[in-house]
Chains A and B, each alone.
Chain A
């Protein structure tokens, strides 16, 4: 387990942002952390990346306590922030070199670390252009290259594909997936796109500072949403059946076999899981 969170809580002056959450992330997995804005996602990430001190409970990354052994934690992780943290007037390569030096890398080692990050993220083409002049997708790739410069064991991505066009979004997503598969690096991400979460190994849904669900996408789908059977009959009548499992459709279809004009089975999606678990009315930006 690369991350262990035990009864973690964080309260600010008048609100409890995170109230006693528990979860674990296994090494090498792709982990999705879901929740509406204000659910406690950012607070949790900020605690795990040592930006915020926790109020209670325990949290370790790579076996190190995030509060007491922050320095050790920081050398294991790479973070892609929601908003850009690189310098717009410096070139991509200058940015990577300066940020790489924050890990104590110097000279030839630093150069090869930068080259490596550039190669993995395929940003060679615009590596000498100023970061501020890049397109959204190019910037995101550069942000990821930045987070990879110290070859972290654990990569945090806070909404890595938000604000990108669908094509770029899918490119970035595939790159992340590929990285995680080939390098064995653990990826911890937050996202708003359910189809992305559906591809991860483990999902935790958080709402109002509490964990609402924890499991594989399949487990969550089975537990928190149902398939829908839609039948249109030869006499024009139309009926819907909620199904606990997809095969439950068979006896129903069997029963009406002679009268059916059209059969449609809609599988539950991660969107349904998410909507069922979180109160949409609390959505605030």
Chain B
């Protein structure tokens, strides 16, 4: 019932839905207006020919980032309710016989459910765009991989944001924090500017930010097939360097991240932040 409460409170409040989607709208706007063209030209130059597939691939690369970002902003919008509750509803919950761990679980699962729905909505936006541009639907296997990735990504984003909310007491502070996160997240996850075009140090920031791995996994699901077709006649090194440049994979020295590695990073981060949250709650 507490999970349902979070979902109703979130979806009935049109402003919170809008602000959770703001990062998505910004990325989408930037892409349509100029990011897309810029990146397509870069790919065209590398390939030496043009193809409608280029547009599809680039849309996938950017919108994979957009989908990953939503798993954070969606959870953030719903977790705002938990901060808001500290002044009001929490008193009511704490004088009721329901256990405190169930209250906490209500917030985590409720906001994760919201995050999942919002993220799938962002994926829906991608699908509509791709199909409108003459692309094809993803296969059932890829869809299963996508659901798996979205789930991990939402839980990871949720764990991180939930941890943050434990230290925020007022709604104003939360709004400030979420504005800051909302504007920085696109950079930290390497969405606005491809990781390969950034200085090495900034690239490391992106590679070390766990949520970037969600974007990388989504890129592998959404664009690897298209990239393989596009680069079919090109030397293999050019595909490798392209995937590195656009954050389809991350390269740490001699090690290149794989789908499984990135999934492990997300799971690990999720566990770390939930355990940290538990410790903070215990300490209080």
Which residues of A approach B to under 8 Å, CB–CB? Answer: 49-51, 71, 74-75, 77, 79, 81, 83-87, 89-90, 94, 97-99, 101-104, 146, 150
Contacts and interface: CB of A to CB of B under 8 A. Distances in A.
Interface string B88-113: 11011111111100000000000000
Interface stretch (B8-16, B51-59, B60-68, B189-197): B8-16
A75 B97 contact: yes
Contact of B9 (A49, A90, A99, A101): A90
A110 to B, nearest CB: 9
Which residue of B12, B91, B92, B93 has the most chain A CB atoms within 10 A of its CB atom? B92
A147 to B, nearest CB: 9
Contacts, number: 59
Contacts of B94: 50-51
Given A87-B89, A101-B1, A101-B2, 12 more contacts: A71-B97, A71-B99, A81-B92, A86-B89, A90-B9, A94-B8, A98-B1, A98-B4, A102-B92, A102-B98, A103-B97, A104-B98
Contacts of A98: 1-2, 4-5
Contacts of B95: 49-51, 74, 77, 79
B94 to A, nearest CB: 6
A102 B96 contact: yes
A104 B1 contact: no
Given A81-B92, A99-B92, A87 B5 contact: yes
A75 B92 CA distance: 12
B74 to A, nearest CB: 19
Contacts of A86: 89, 92
A99 B88 contact: no
Contacts of B12: 89-90
Contacts of B1: 97-98, 101-102
A83 B2 contact: no
Contact of B96 (A89, A94, A97, A99): A99
Contacts of A150: 96
A200 to B, nearest CB: 22
B8 A84 contact: no
6 contacts: A51-B91, A51-B94, A77-B95, A84-B88, A87-B9, A90-B12
B284 to A, nearest CB: 12
B52 to A, nearest CB: 46
Given A71-B97, A74-B97, A99-B96, A85 B91 contact: yes
Contacts of A49: 95
A182 to B, nearest CB: 24
Interface of B: 1-2, 4-5, 8-9, 12-13, 88-89, 91-99
A77 B95 CA distance: 8
Nearest to B5: A98
B221 to A, nearest CB: 37
Nearest to A79: B95
Contacts of A87: 5, 9, 89
Nearest to A105: B1
Contacts of A99: 92, 96
A89 B88 contact: no
A53 to B, nearest CB: 12
A217 to B, nearest CB: 29
Nearest to A95: B5
Contacts of B9: 87, 89-90
Contacts of B13: 89
Nearest to A82: B91
Contact of A85 (B5, B89, B98): B89
A74 B1 CA distance: 19
Contacts of B89: 85-87
A102 B97 contact: yes
A153 B155 CA distance: 41
A166 to B, nearest CB: 27
Which residue of A81, A90, A98, A146 has the most chain B CB atoms within 10 A of its CB atom? A98
Contacts of B96: 74, 99, 102-103, 150
B76 to A, nearest CB: 19
Nearest to A74: B97
A214 B4 CA distance: 46
A101 B4 CA distance: 11
A149 to B, nearest CB: 10
B88 A85 contact: yes
Contacts of A84: 88
A83 B5 contact: no
A69 B254 CA distance: 58
Contacts of A146: 92
B1 to A, nearest CB: 4
A98 B6 CA distance: 11
Contacts of A50: 94-95
A94 to B, nearest CB: 7
B54 to A, nearest CB: 46
